Amino acid sequence: MQIRVKCSCGAEKCPEWAVVELQGTVELNASFQTHLQNLQIGQLCRLSSTSQESYTFTVGYHELTGSKVTLKKPLLVLKKVKGFMDVDQNDDNNKKDDLPSSKVELDVIGIIRHKILFKTRPKALISKPQPLVKERTRAAVHTVPN
Amino acid sequence: MEKSSRIKGAESVLNLEPNSSIAIGYHGLFGSHDDTMLLEIDEKLLPDILHQRVTLRGQPDEDSVLCTRSKTYAIKFVGTSNSPLLIPPSGQFALCESSQDFDGGVHDFAPVIKVAHGNMELVEVAPKLDKLKLLLSENPYSYEDVLEMDFMEDVEKNKARLYNWDDLVERVQASDEELRSGLRALSAVEIDGFWRIVDEKYMDMILRMLLHNSVLNDWSLDALNEDDVVSVLVSDGFPDKLAYHCLHVYGSKVDGDVGRSCVWKLDERRVCVHFARQILSTEKKKMETFMAEWLQRIPGGMQASFDMLEGEVLMEKLGIETWVYAFSVSSLPLTPAERFNMLFRERSKWEWKDLQPYLRDLNVPGLSSEGLLLKYTRRAQPTSEAEPVFSSR
Ligand SMILES: [Zn+2]
């Protein structure tokens, strides 16, 4: 089967998304997990202008420092959507009956060219820790099944 | 001031002024959003993707590939132990503004829609054309098809085993261009909307009829008038589509035309190879027997020579006799691992001059022919003057 990749924003107008990349896994206290929505993770601050764009990210009682990097290759944000079926289906029924008729498409809803990357481990601001960010490692490479 | 007016998006993060800050938090619709994924692509593929010239292809039991018009890419998922927080531009994920109530105090707020634990990457691969060969070999066009033309119901019945262009696109993991060149390499022909390979015995009938008529009508094999050839073959009972196909398979168009008809020249090598394959199609032959039969079948004006048969025929010594047998590169798989497997099953050791004709059509992105040999063969060279010999790894 065939899945079309399209951009419904209209090519050049495809909007840029932002990425703030933190080391480790973002973890929350159990009490928050049921209602994350609108909860603040941290405060992003751009430092006074230097040649390189530097940032701090303050998470709970920790401060991270990082910088804006341009990706070597852009990342596209793809969203799986159910495509619209053609209205004029009545004219030919010799189309492959053995294949599922639901038309899935991938819509390019954004493009990512930069990320604000925090490579440093969190530096405690005050001694009583209540970290939202913890170090974690994860499996690295596997293939996507269809 | 309304709180909702401070909900920002990607643009506020990307364009943050020096000495200013923005709160980063969870979007009202934050979630795993498994239907949203990241794909890393080469800048040069961007126009193709944004202008909708790209598709994912594959059956449910296959790993999807991404196809541009001319190339095929495997899709790999690369995970990360970091947490990339994805922030969409404001307005892209519509929110019910009145429900906003974040704990960010007085700062602007950029909402994170999802944490992306990895992204997909593309790796250029060879198209999966062995499947094309397999599908078309299910039902080659043969003499029976011509007989059946009078009985439309039978043709209808057979359609289950026939494939049109769209069916092939659905089933074969290859870009449009690669699929087209794959069809050309198989000498496939589109008949009544379906792509077919033509049974070799049937091709033999047409070719011999063409040569027979050339003798009868005193045509030159270097300047065949297309209209004359087709009308004669049609009157002999061959469909016109197959008459044209015969010219394409065994000849090429030449410049200069007679009236409005094209002129074709038969290709000496292709015609000679055809007859060699016919002679060896059922059994191996002693070299002298084979050569005698072969030279006798070659049409007048053509010269057969044994080097035409590289990649088609192998020789073996049995006692003092030399025998030849058919072993055609076109019958071998296109996947390198499977190709070498078949080659070493045929012979455990290969000299380069014999091996080379069975490798030159292999095309593996990112791997040269040297690389292929290193990966799949063991090379032995007893002395520096000796020819290298290749065996299985
Ligand atoms: Zn778009």
Q: What is the pLDDT of residues B206-220, one digit of tens each?
A: 999 999 999 999 999
Q: Is the pLDDT of residue A139 over 60?
A: no
Distance (Å) from CA B188 to ligand 1 centroid = 38
What lies within 8 Å, CB to CB, of B87 at 6+ separation is A17, A18, A19, A20, B9, B10, B13, B24, B110, B111, B112, B113
- Same domain, yes or no: B383 and B311: yes
Q: Do A138 and B61 touch (CB under 8 A)?
A: no
Query: By the 8 A CB rule, do B206 and B238 touch?
Result: yes
- Same domain, yes or no: B189 and B247: no
- Same domain, yes or no: B26 and B90: yes
Query: By the 8 A CB rule, do B383 and B374 touch?
Result: no
- Same domain, yes or no: B227 and B256: yes
Q: Do B18 and A45 touch (CB under 8 A)?
A: no
Return the percentage of chain B with pLDDT > 70, whole number: 91
Q: Tell me the nearest-neighbour CA distance from B220 into chain A, angstroms.
A: 45
Quick count: other Cβ atoms within 10 Å of Cβ B247?
21
- Same domain, yes or no: B74 and B139: no
Is there a domain that residue A56 lies in?
Answer: yes
Tell me what pLDDT residue B384 has.
85
The token pair at B111 is 């909402």
Q: Which one of A23, A74, A146 has the shortest CB-CB distance to B63?
A: A146
Q: Residue B210: name the closest of B235, B229, B234 by CA.
A: B229
Is there a domain that residue B276 lies in?
Answer: no
What lies within 8 Å, CB to CB, of B270 at 6+ separation is B249, B250, B251
Please name every residue paired with A142 in a beta bridge, in sequence order, or none if there are none: B77
Distance (Å) from CA A12 to ligand 1 centroid = 8
Quick count: other Cβ atoms within 10 Å of Cβ B357?
14
Distance in angstroms (rounded) separating the CA atoms of residues B36 and A24: 21
Taking the Cβ of residue A22 and every Cβ of chain B, the question of whether any pair is shorter than 8 Å is answered with: yes
Q: What mean pLDDT, rounded, does chain A reach?
A: 74
Is there a domain that residue B211 lies in?
Answer: yes
Q: Is the pLDDT of residue A90 over 50?
A: no
Q: What mean pLDDT, rounded, does chain B reach?
A: 90
Is there a domain that residue A73 lies in?
Answer: yes
Name the domain boundary from B64, B92, B124: B124
Q: Tell me the nearest-neighbour CA distance from A75 into chain B, angstroms.
A: 4
The token pair at B53 is 């010239």
Q: Residue B24: name the closest of B80, B96, B82, B83 by CA.
A: B83
Query: By the 8 A CB rule, do B244 and B259 touch?
Result: no
Tell me what pLDDT residue B156 has.
57
Q: Do B25 and A38 touch (CB under 8 A)?
A: yes
Map residue B33 onto helix, strand or coil. coil
The token pair at B30 is 């934050």
Q: Which domain holds residue B233?
A: 200-266
Q: Do B66 and A5 touch (CB under 8 A)?
A: yes
Is there a domain that residue B278 lies in?
Answer: no
Q: Is the pLDDT of residue B98 over 60?
A: no
Map residue B258 onto helix, strand or coil. strand
For residue B149, count CB atoms less than 10 angstroms from its CB and return exposed for 0-12, middle for 13-18, buried for 19 or more: exposed
- Using a CB-CB cut-off of 8 Å, the residues of chain B touching A25 are 81, 83
Is there a domain that residue B275 lies in?
Answer: no
Confidence of residue A48 (pLDDT cuts 50, 70, 90): confident
Distance in angstroms (rounded) separating the CA atoms of residues A99 and B19: 57
Q: Is this model's pTM higher than 0.95 or not? A: no
Tell me what pLDDT residue B232 has.
96
- Using a CB-CB cut-off of 8 Å, the residues of chain A touching B40 are 71, 73-76
Q: Is the pLDDT of residue A56 over 90?
A: yes
**C-alpha to C-alpha distances, A142 to A72, B79, B120, B194, B391, nearest whole angstrom:** 22, 8, 10, 38, 33
Map residue B109 onto helix, strand or coil. strand
| Stronger pLDDT, A121 or B294, i.e. the higher one | B294
Quick count: other Cβ atoms within 10 Å of Cβ B33?
18
- Same domain, yes or no: B68 and B56: yes
Distance (Å) from CA A109 to ligand 1 centroid = 4
Q: What is the mean pLDDT of residues B115-129?
A: 95
- Using a CB-CB cut-off of 8 Å, the residues of chain A touching B79 are 138-142
Q: Residue B250: name the closest of B227, B291, B276, B221 by CA.
A: B221
Confidence of residue B143 (pLDDT cuts 50, 70, 90): confident
Q: How many independent structural domains does chain B possess?
A: 4
Q: What is the mean pLDDT of residues B26-38?
A: 90
- C-alpha angle B142-B136-B206 in degrees, rounded to nearest 5: 30
Say which residue the tokens 């033309």 belong to. Answer: B149
- Using a CB-CB cut-off of 8 Å, the residues of chain B touching A23 are 81-83
Tell me what pLDDT residue A130 has.
45
- Same domain, yes or no: B119 and B105: yes
Q: Tell me the nearest-neighbour CA distance from B196 into chain A, angstroms.
A: 18
Residue of A nearest to B44 (CA): A73
Q: Do A38 and B101 touch (CB under 8 A)?
A: yes
Name the domain boundary from B92, B124, B156: B124
Residue of A nearest to B119 (CA): A75
- Using a CB-CB cut-off of 8 Å, the residues of chain A touching B54 are 4-5
What lies within 8 Å, CB to CB, of B219 at 6+ separation is B213, B225, B228, B229
Is there a domain that residue B274 lies in?
Answer: no
Confidence of residue A127 (pLDDT cuts 50, 70, 90): very low
Distance in angstroms (rounded) separating the CA atoms of residues B371 and B350: 17
| Stronger pLDDT, A98 or A52, i.e. the higher one | A52
DSSP notation for B319-354: TTEEEEEE--GGGS-SSHHHHHHHHHHH-SEEEHHH
- Same domain, yes or no: B204 and B187: no
Instruction: Give CA B184 to chain center in angstroms.
Output: 10
Distance in angstroms (rounded) separating the CA atoms of residues B257 and B264: 9
Q: Is the pLDDT of residue B5 over 80?
A: no
Residue of A nearest to B28 (CA): A37
Tell me what pLDDT residue A84 has.
57
Distance (Å) from CA B172 to ligand 1 centroid = 28
Q: Which domain holds residue A129?
A: 4-30+41-86+97-142
Is there a domain that residue B277 lies in?
Answer: no
Is there a domain that residue A62 lies in?
Answer: yes
Q: Do A74 and B58 touch (CB under 8 A)?
A: no
Q: Is the pLDDT of residue A144 over 70?
A: no
Is there a domain that residue A35 lies in?
Answer: no
- Using a CB-CB cut-off of 8 Å, the residues of chain A touching B11 are 16, 18
Confidence of residue B108 (pLDDT cuts 50, 70, 90): confident
- Same domain, yes or no: B211 and B154: no
Q: Tell me the nearest-neighbour CA distance from B148 into chain A, angstroms.
A: 21
Tell me what pLDDT residue A106 has.
94
Q: Do B18 and A38 touch (CB under 8 A)?
A: no
Q: How many independent structural domains does chain A possess?
A: 1
Q: Do B77 and A144 touch (CB under 8 A)?
A: yes
- Using a CB-CB cut-off of 8 Å, the residues of chain A touching B59 are 1, 146
Tell me what pLDDT residue A62 has.
84
Name the domain boundary from B124, B153, B169: B124
- Using a CB-CB cut-off of 8 Å, the residues of chain B touching A106 are 56
Residues B250-308: tens digit of each pLDDT: 999 997 666 678 999 999 999 999 999 999 999 999 999 999 999 999 999 899 999 99
Is there a domain that residue A68 lies in?
Answer: yes
Q: Do A49 and B13 touch (CB under 8 A)?
A: no
Q: Is the pLDDT of residue A125 over 70?
A: no
B-facing residues of A in 66-125 (CB < 8 A) are 71, 73-81, 96, 99, 106, 108-110, 112, 114-116
Residues A18-45: tens digit of each pLDDT: 999 998 877 655 555 566 767 888 999 9
DSSP notation for chain A: -EEEEE-TTTGGGPPBPEEEEESSEE---GGGGGG-TT-EEEEEEEPSP-SS-EEEEEETTEEEEEEEEEEEEEEEEEEEEEPPPPS--TT---S-TTS----EEEEEEEEEEEEEE--SPPEESSSS---SEE------EEEPP-
Q: Is the pLDDT of residue A143 over 50?
A: no
What lies within 8 Å, CB to CB, of B277 at 6+ separation is B200, B312, B326, B328
* Segment holding B378, helix H or strand E: strand B377-380
Is there a domain that residue B12 lies in?
Answer: yes
- Same domain, yes or no: B135 and B97: no
Quick count: other Cβ atoms within 10 Å of Cβ B338?
12
Q: Do A45 and B109 touch (CB under 8 A)?
A: no
Q: Which one of B28, B75, B82 has the shortest CB-CB distance to A21?
A: B82
Q: Count residue pairs from A and B with Cβ separation < 8 A.
A: 232
**C-alpha to C-alpha distances, B306 to A96, B291, B356, B357, nearest whole angstrom:** 47, 9, 16, 14
Is there a domain that residue B77 lies in?
Answer: yes
Q: Do A108 and B37 touch (CB under 8 A)?
A: no
Residues B60-90: tens digit of each pLDDT: 899 999 999 999 999 999 999 899 999 999 8
Map residue B11 onto helix, strand or coil. helix
Is there a domain that residue A92 lies in?
Answer: no
Confidence of residue B149 (pLDDT cuts 50, 70, 90): low
Query: By the 8 A CB rule, do B312 and B329 touch?
Result: yes
Q: Do A5 and B56 touch (CB under 8 A)?
A: yes
- Same domain, yes or no: B30 and B77: yes
